[in-house]
Amino acid sequence: MSFTNWLDADAGMRLAADFEGPAAVIIKHTNPCGFAIAEDVCRAYELAFECDPRAAYGDVVAVNRPMEEHLARLLAKTFLNVLVGPAAEADVGPELRESLRLLVVDRPAAPGELDVRSIDGGLLLQSRDRLPPPREPASVMTRLQPSGEQWRQLLTAWRVARHVKSNAVVIVRDSMAVGVGAGQMSRIEAAELAISRAGSRAVGAVAASDGLIPFADVIEALAEAGVGAVIQPGGSLGDHDVAAAADQSGLSMVSAAERHFRH
């Protein structure tokens, strides 16, 4: 296990543990390049792999259910570095590639843990980003209200976005990440990257922006791609103009009233 293997395994474990349903995560350089919830983790992994098959090479896979033989056979089709989950059945090992490390982590991260980072001459400490809030604290910023299914997908996208390095835009459809724009220098570039990854799958999907959307360009790009609803922190001086652009584009937009900003 290398330094980066451990960091990626931790990032994957934390994201998978955020969801109650069977979830699978594919992590590359501490960012998810694939995520899905499904009826079981094998199907979740297949859907997560579809998010970005080109990036899913030499990666870390994390699941939130016991790892078993069928999953191991699926993973054997691709070169991967680490598989991490809360438990492993006895028949998993023989099905795995020799190069794939198997980690069993049965302790989900506590929300009150400190996030510790080193800088030249010292350490920075802060509380970890807490779990996203339920629907009630969020408010709709547009005339168009999200449908019940859009609300469910928006909250999934918002929860995934907290695990993506800022600037981040995540596009989700049917409880599957179809486009992830991570670590970009501008929010519009993050949106453009997520849109390019999603392609036609953006039609009817929802999007989450980890930080506030300051300008209408992000909304216009998402709407042109076919995204139907957006969740963002809100709080920008340009909120009125951004909401007006969403109204004009036929989007519903939700303010989460807090932001993620993973560095």
What average pLDDT does the chain have? 93
* CB neighbours of residue 143 within 10 Å: 12
pLDDT of 110: 65
Sorted by where each starts, the structural domains of the chain and their CATH numbers stand as: 3-104 (3.40.140.20), 139-255 (3.40.140.20)
Looking at the predicted structure, is the pLDDT value of residue 136 above 80?
no
Q: What is the share, in percent, of the chain residues with pLDDT greater than 90?
A: 78
Q: Which of 106-110, 119-123, 254-258 has the lowest mean pLDDT?
A: 106-110
More confident residue, 6 or 89: 6
pLDDT band at 127 (very low <50, low <70, confident <90, very high): confident
pLDDT band at 112 (very low <50, low <70, confident <90, very high): low
Mean pLDDT of 1-28: 95
pLDDT tens digits for range 161-190 = 999 999 999 999 999 999 999 999 999 999
Q: What residues pair up with 31 in beta bridges, in sequence order?
A: 28
Mean pLDDT of 78-96: 87
**Two tokens, residue 241:** 């103009």
pLDDT band at 10 (very low <50, low <70, confident <90, very high): very high
pLDDT of 35: 98
- For tokens 């999007």, the residue is 207
CA 115 to mean position of chain CA atoms: 19
pLDDT of 90: 80
pLDDT tens digits for range 39-75 = 999 999 999 999 999 999 989 999 999 999 899 889 9
Name the residue among 61, 23, 253 with its Cα closest to residue 144: 253
Looking at the predicted structure, is the pLDDT value of residue 23 above 70?
yes
* CB-based contact 29:103 (threshold 8 Å): no
Distance CA 4, CA 157 (A): 25
Our separate counts of H helices and E strands in the chain read: 7, 13
pLDDT band at 115 (very low <50, low <70, confident <90, very high): confident
pLDDT tens digits for range 236-249 = 999 999 999 999 99
Name the residue among 151, 171, 111, 143 with its Cα closest to residue 246: 143
Report CA dihedral (209, 214, 218, 220) to the nearest 10 degrees. 130
Looking at the predicted structure, is the pLDDT value of residue 109 above 70?
no
Looking at the predicted structure, is the pLDDT value of residue 87 above 70?
yes
Mean pLDDT of 86-113: 80
